[in-house]
Every structure is written in structure tokens, then in C-alpha cells.
Structure 1
Amino acid sequence: MSGKASASNHPCFSVSDALSHVYIQYPPLKCALAGTGSFLYDDGNKLLLGLTSDRVFSWKTAPYIPHVAPSSDPLFDGPVLSIRYSLDLKLLAYSRRIYCSEVI
């Protein structure tokens, strides 16, 4: 692998040469919450976000404190593509679709 992101030929998407990763080294990630399907990282607030069909659970990652129960907020109307809290944690924004209009 070259370490570069591959560029997409789709007119609605662009990919830069920058890569970003989150590595969880220790302790191993284990989630006991039923129905948690995907995890996202909110780098502005240093939160690990676990999504279920109707809730978002969040864990503070810095400073890491083991055995702390997650915060949770309700979600409605289907799957989430991306999600972020405002920096003051008062607003939750999420995207359910990618809208694209191709200009010819």
C-alpha cells in the first residue's frame, strides 16, 4: 500500500492525499451495548461515538477514565452517515444522506 488515498472519479466526491486514522491500542475496544453497529470519532471533542438504530452513545477519550458510563442522546429517522457535537456539547448535528448535483 502506498499510503495515499485513491482519488475518486465521481464528480461529487473529492479525495485529498491526506489520511486520518484513529488507533485504539489499549485497552481493546469492547462494547456491551446491544445493537451498537458503528463507531465514529469526534476529534473536536475527543469523543468515541457508538451508534444504535435510535441512540448515539459517547465516551470521552481524553483523559481516558475506565469504567465510566457513556452519555447518550436520542436519534430518529434511520441510519446516520456522520455525526458531530458542537464544541460546547449543546448541539448534535448528523448527516443521513450525501446530496449531490452534477454540473454538466
Structure 2
Amino acid sequence: MDVRIYQPAKNAMQSGRAKTKTWILEFMPIAAERADDLMGWTGGGDTRKQLQMKFENKEQAIAFAKKKGLSYVVKEPKTRKLQIKNYADNFALNRIVY
């Protein structure tokens, strides 16, 4: 597997879904990272892991991977459950208490 194609999840600190519409193509690491003895930093010689390509939809990302001859894995996003909650429901007579 050369690349991974996925749609990013929303940030835990945001309520909107602004930057979650794009699809990202990421290269998988070739070798494990290693710790530097002198500084203690983690690094490696693989520069492909720094590359992230953004596409408008999944089909464009798959077409790019096929065109370049890369094997790919598509990770589908989880569907979001629509929950409609009102403040007034906290005081309803027939509410379910957990």
C-alpha cells in the first residue's frame, strides 16, 4: 500500500465542519522513524510522509493514484447522526432520564 485516501475529521475544538469537505491523499511511511542520539528528536529519511495532497472529491484522488501507478486504500468517513435537541426538552414531562 503506497497511499491512503481519506476525508479528515472535524477538529474537536470547532463546532462547524468547514475543513472536512476535501479528500486527502497521504503517502504511507517506508521506514520507521528513529530517535536522534544527540538531540533526542524523532526523524527519518523518508520525505514522502511530509507530502499531503488535497482533492475536491474521492474520485479525483483515486484517479490520481491510478494514473501514477500507486496502490491505495480508501478510508470512508463515518456518517454523522442527526440529533435535534432543544433546551425545552430538558423540562418535558415525558423525558427519559438516564
Please state which band the TM-score falls in when normalised by the shorter chain: under 0.3
Higher relative helix content: 2
The structure having more radius of gyration, on CA atoms, is 2
TM-score by length of 1: 0.24
TM-score by length of 2: 0.25
Instruction: Pick 1 or 2: higher relative contact order, CA cutoff 8 A, min separation 6.
Output: 2
